[in-house]
Structure 1
């Protein structure tokens, strides 16, 4: 769920809870516990999801990715994945990452390239130029 959607949901939930509490003149224990549970789930779900992914792939060790005119090669201590540019639908750039998207409609994201893994700002510009040359921004 996106940050904006979660914020809207949480704001509406808080408003409903406050209005219900004020109209009755007392705090309902069940509504309060349910409210706190929803706040924890909505706020903590992305972290829980990230922790689950880390548990699934963490045993493989450090990942290394090389982006070249031939494609993208990702390797760990246990595996190597070579992808040609033709498998990509395009890419999106965020403040901290380049997210490469698959052509396959059943796969939402193919690869995430963190900018912090690059040595200099020039490397970010070079990677962006390489992505623009072999893929499209979506």
Structure 2
């Protein structure tokens, strides 16, 4: 007799969970990583120009600080606004009842039903609040956020982690440590 490995989640999405999911999506998609590197490079260049200007007695580069500040605020604001828009959509759908099993992920809400096979996702990332499944395309366009608050027990968390690791391992090689599911907190999940 086969052991039932399915995991049930029941939740109403919060802004914080969506915001965390979008941050993880940007960190773990190739395009998102490129954008972060470009932003850090721009900041380093601006800092270098400012220091050079101050050392030479001029004010070169000081006029660019407001520009950099505006760019940084806009980048943060865009993610917050996206999270608010997605929150409005998720709240419109109502309470989510998600089943994760050997065949894939089934999501049912008051206004929507969806079934996704494991082959759709390329990687999974875990943070303190959420599990995030991301498609393997360059933008990481497809994203599924599974809040840990929707799990009933700690055993459900372990089973969900196990299902994600097992099924996403088929699509790509494991890390040298043997794990596939990465933690986004810098600490072991």
Q: TM-score range by the shorter chain?
A: 0.5 to 0.7
Cα distance in 1, alignment partners of residues 94 and 54 from structure 2: 50
Where do residues 45-64 of structure 1 align in structure 2 (5 Å cutoff)?
45-64=78-97
Root mean square deviation, CA, Å: 3.5
| Deviation digits for residues 24-70 of structure 1 (CA, Å, limit 9, x no counterpart) | 54488853432331232244443233233334444323333111233
Unpaired stretches in structure 2, ≥5 consecutive residues = 1-31, 170-179, 182-189
Q: Is the 8 A contact 1:17 1:35 kept in 2?
A: no
**What is the CA-CA distance between 1:125 and the residue it aligns to?**
0.8
- Unaligned 5+ segments in structure 1 are none
Structure 1 residues 59 and 127: CA distance shift in structure 2, 3 A: same
In our comparison, the structure showing a higher alpha carbon Rg is 1
State the partner residue of 1:114.
147
Question: TM-score when scaled to structure 2?
Answer: 0.53
Alignment match of 1:95 (pick from 107, 127, 140) = 127
- Of structures 1 and 2, the one with the larger relative CO (CA 8 A, separation 6+) is 2
* Cα distance in 2, alignment partners of residues 65 and 77 from structure 1: 12
Q: Please, what TM-score do these two structures have when normalized by structure 1? A: 0.67
Q: Cα offset for 1:82?
A: 1.3
